[in-house]
Amino acid sequence: MSNEVMSALKKDYIYNLILKGERSDGRAFDEFRDIELRTNVIEKAEGSAWLKLGKTEVLVGVKLQVGKPFPDSADQGVIITSLELNPIASPDFEAGPPRENAIEMARVADRGIRESGAIDLTKLCITEGEEVWMVFIDVHVLNNYGNIQDAASLGAIAALMTATIPAEREGKGEDSPLPIRDMPLAVTLVNIGGSMLVDPGLDEEAVCGTRITIVSNQDGSISGMQKSGDGALTEEQLLSAVEMACKKASQIREANLLNI
Amino acid sequence: MSDKPEKFIDENGLRLDGRQVDEMRPMKMELGVISRADGSCYLEWGKNKVMAAVYGPRELHPRRMQKADSVLIRYRYNMAAFSVEDRIRPGPNRRSIEISKVSREAFEPVVLTHLYPGAVIDVFAEVLQADAGTRTAAINAASMALADAGIPMKGLVAACAVGKVDGQLVLDLNKAEDNFGDADFPMTFTQDGEVSLVQMDGNFTQEEFKQAVEMCKEGCQKILGMQQEALRNKFAGELSTDEVDVELIEEDVVEAESDDVDEGAAEPEEVDEDVEESQDDVEDHSMIKADEPEFEEDEPEDEPESEEDEPEEETA
């Protein structure tokens, strides 16, 4: 987020370092920070995940409730994703209604899960037109050191994969795992001085003009994308970013999600 | 909402509205439609009807929002309550806030923001009737309104979307394709061929994605052509002499920019004056004035000839 405060000197330093091919924390341009994932950390939630991406931390909780379907999709469950930049996570976040930054991030996260078809919504129908399961995915940002978007995406899919449909509690039969059929993952790259860097840290987010988030699935297909920031990308940058994002996503998936 | 059609593309390869897969809906645009605004454009694209207006550069209040080294661009995408089948509640919602943000960011790379430090350029895009593709229609209109207002830009911005129906990529989605299709991928290209807005949802393979980018690029190039023609139609008549053209083309952009920065930096409070001053290119100004009572249109005139991408309101 460019609203983070940083001195011009430090920005210069980071920028010049990148021109020399280095990042301020010593990572390679295509290297993610360390990922630490713990699931089922909140017993009261139907599914949950505590994710650390470097020092960035998010906690994602999944709750399910019985509700009414939308009239135009009477036989399908409902997904509602929310993400807020709580003031606990950064001195730059303020309480109050979400700003455009937070709204954008929440909507990108929501589309990533929805459009990939990761949740089989037809299996969440209880009685067509009357009752369906509503899946609430709430992303709680705890500590912001950059790239909340990717942390939220990984945390969300991990939480969903561990979630149970609480059918007994609601008197709707037996509990069963939430039907998950894909593992969409967002990978964000930033353009600094013409170089594309994955997983921007806080300082890099402050320096970059352009960021692009790409959501890709297990089969390498793309189900979401969003460019953000006041710069532009060349066509080549866009295409190579997509390739890189798919590659990174599959590595992360393999390392963190396949054993859940 | 109507039901999902069984097929989106018939055996002749035509879409529900009779278009080819790579054919856009007809587009027409008119400049200078809002006389109070510094620049404006009414655009129809299929059944979409949008109106864009630009005010500024003008003084920004509250002052804490002012940016010391550049102009602030504000972009407001707004749908009229009656623009869609089921009335929507007027005012901003999460969708419109997001669209406003990414649309603004589509223009930030092309507007020469350093020329008017402390000032604001307001872009208002009103969707009067919506029929799939309103954000792209609004951007196309806003691009024209900015040029009409004489805002110094590196070039125009054009937007269009590619989608996927029946496993086939299609350019410029219609309502059914938008609602029930498998992907929606709006994008903008600048005159320099850079990409300044990318959004996507749905599902593309990587190969499809590459094709979609190409398809979108071709669409945007067509739109850029139409935009330039519309600007020419409005302004070229006043620019009959060759001298002016040569002068504009030869002008060194870098030089011109740095001049303006100095002016602006020296008197941040008086941006409005700066604007007028910098646009007092006597020759051009008077010529355009003949037809336009308001000030400032020396910029668009070079837009027309700027096949190459150095527009500039020229100055100094």
Instruction: Give the residue-averaged pLDDT of A142-154.
Output: 96
pLDDT bucket at A187, cuts 50 / 70 / 90: very high
Do the Cβ atoms of A227 and B105 come within 8 Å? yes
Do the Cβ atoms of A246 and B197 come within 8 Å? no
Q: Which of A103, A221, A229 sits opposite B94 (nearest CB)?
A: A103
Do the Cβ atoms of B98 and A223 come within 8 Å? no
Q: Where are the alpha helices (DSSP H) in chain A?
A: 8-19, 100-115, 148-161, 167-170, 202-207, 235-252
**Chain A residues with CB inside 8 Å of B108's CB?**
230-231
Q: Which residue in chain B has the smallest CA separation from A232?
A: B196
Q: How many Cβ atoms are within 10 Å of B160's Cβ, its own excluded? A: 30
Q: Rounded CA gap, B202 and A7, in Å?
A: 40
**A80 DSSP β-pair partners:** A136
| pLDDT, position B286 | 36
Q: Number of residue pairs across A and B with CB atoms under 8 Å?
A: 99
| pLDDT, position A5 | 61
Q: Rounded CA gap, A157 and A161, in Å?
A: 6
Q: Which residues contact B202 (CB under 8 A, 6 or more apart)?
A: A115, A223, B163, B164, B181, B182, B183, B184, B185
| pLDDT, position A161 | 96
| pLDDT, position B139 | 98
Q: Which residue in chain B has the smallest CA separation from A218?
A: B205
User: What element of type H or E holds B286?
Assistant: helix B282-289
Report yes or no: A190 and A211 within 8 Å, Cβ to Cβ: yes
pLDDT bucket at A8, cuts 50 / 70 / 90: confident
Do the Cβ atoms of B105 and A116 come within 8 Å? no
Do the Cβ atoms of A225 and B210 come within 8 Å? no
pLDDT tens by residue, chain B, 316 residues = 567 889 999 999 999 999 999 999 999 999 999 999 999 999 999 999 999 999 999 999 889 999 999 999 999 999 999 999 999 999 999 999 999 999 999 999 999 999 999 999 999 999 999 999 999 999 999 999 999 999 999 999 999 999 999 999 999 999 999 999 999 999 999 999 999 999 999 999 999 999 999 999 999 999 999 999 999 999 987 655 554 444 444 445 444 444 444 444 444 444 444 444 444 443 343 333 334 444 444 444 444 444 444 444 444 3
The distance of A38 to chain B (nearest Cα, Å) reads 29
Res. A18: pLDDT tops 50: yes
Report yes or no: B208 and B182 within 8 Å, Cβ to Cβ: no
Q: Rounded CA gap, B68 and B265, in Å?
A: 9
Domains of chain A: 33-257 (3.30.230.70)
DSSP helix, strand, coil percent of chain A (3-state; round to 5): 35, 30, 35
- The distance of Cα A126 from the centroid of its chain, to the nearest Å, equals 28
Do the Cβ atoms of B198 and A233 come within 8 Å? yes
| pLDDT, position A10 | 86
**Chain B residues with CB inside 8 Å of A72's CB?**
1
Report yes or no: A212 and A227 within 8 Å, Cβ to Cβ: yes
The distance of A172 to chain B (nearest Cα, Å) reads 31
Task: Decide: helix, strand or coil at residue B109.
Answer: coil
**Chain A residues with CB inside 8 Å of B97's CB?**
100, 103
The letter for the amino acid at A26 is G
Exposed e or buried b for every residue in B190-207, given b needs 16+ CB within 10 A? bbeebbbbbbbbbbbeee
**B188 DSSP β-pair partners:** B159, B197
Do the Cβ atoms of A230 and B108 come within 8 Å? yes
Instruction: Give me A256's structure tokens.
Output: 């963190």
Q: Calculate helix-pair angle for B253-266, B271-278, nearest 10 degrees.
A: 150
**Cα angle B79-B41-B125, degrees, rounded to a multiple of 5:** 25
| pLDDT, position B238 | 63
Q: Which of A209, A221, A225 sits opposite B205 (nearest CB)?
A: A221
Helix (DSSP H) and strand (DSSP E) numbers for chain A: 6, 12
Q: Which residue in chain A has the smallest CA separation from B199?
A: A226
Its pTM stands at 0.82
Report yes or no: A62 and A124 within 8 Å, Cβ to Cβ: no
Query: What percent of chain A is modeled with pLDDT above 90?
Result: 85
Residue-wise pLDDT for B18-55, tens only, equals 999 999 999 999 999 999 999 999 999 999 999 999 99
Report yes or no: B191 and B155 within 8 Å, Cβ to Cβ: yes
| pLDDT, position B306 | 41
**Chain A residues with CB inside 8 Å of B200's CB?**
222, 224-226
Say whether residue B213 is in contact with chain A using an 8 A CB cutoff: yes
Residue-wise pLDDT for A210-229, tens only, equals 999 999 999 999 999 999 99
Q: Calculate helix-pair angle for A235-252, B206-235, nearest 10 degrees.
A: 150
Report strand pairing: B39-45 vs A222-228. unpaired
Do the Cβ atoms of B198 and A221 come within 8 Å? no
User: What element of type H or E holds B42?
Assistant: strand B39-45
Which of B2, B105, B220 should be substituted to probe chain A, the one whose Cβ sees the most A Cβ atoms within 10 Å? B105
| pLDDT, position A84 | 87
Q: Which of A70, A71, A80, A249 is nearest to A160 (CA)?
A: A80
Do the Cβ atoms of A242 and B206 come within 8 Å? yes
Q: Rounded CA gap, B71 and B268, in Å?
A: 11
Q: Which of B1, B109, B202 sits opposite A223 (nearest CB)?
A: B202
Domains of chain B: 27-234 (3.30.230.70), 236-305 (no CATH)
Instruction: Give me B281's structure tokens.
Output: 């290119």
The distance of A35 to chain B (nearest Cα, Å) reads 26
- The distance of Cα A142 from the centroid of its chain, to the nearest Å, equals 14
User: Could you check whether the bond before residue B57 is cis, i.e. omega within 30 degrees of 0?
Assistant: yes
Do the Cβ atoms of B209 and A103 come within 8 Å? no
Residue-wise pLDDT for A53-77, tens only, equals 999 999 999 999 999 999 889 999 9
| pLDDT, position A72 | 87
| pLDDT, position B4 | 85
Residue found by looking up tokens 């700027």 in the block: B306
ipTM summary value: 0.89
**A62 DSSP β-pair partners:** A47, A137
Alpha-carbon separation of residue A221 from A117, A172, A215, B13, B187 (angstroms): 12, 35, 9, 25, 18
Q: Rounded CA gap, B213 and B161, in Å?
A: 9
Instruction: Give the residue-averaged pLDDT of A88-107.
Output: 90
Q: Rounded CA gap, B85 and B231, in Å?
A: 33
Task: Decide: helix, strand or coil at residue A54.
Answer: coil
Exposed e or buried b for every residue in A108-128, given b needs 16+ CB within 10 A? bbbbbbbbbebbebeebbbee
Instruction: Give me B286's structure tokens.
Output: 């008077």
Task: Decide: helix, strand or coil at residue A40.
Answer: coil
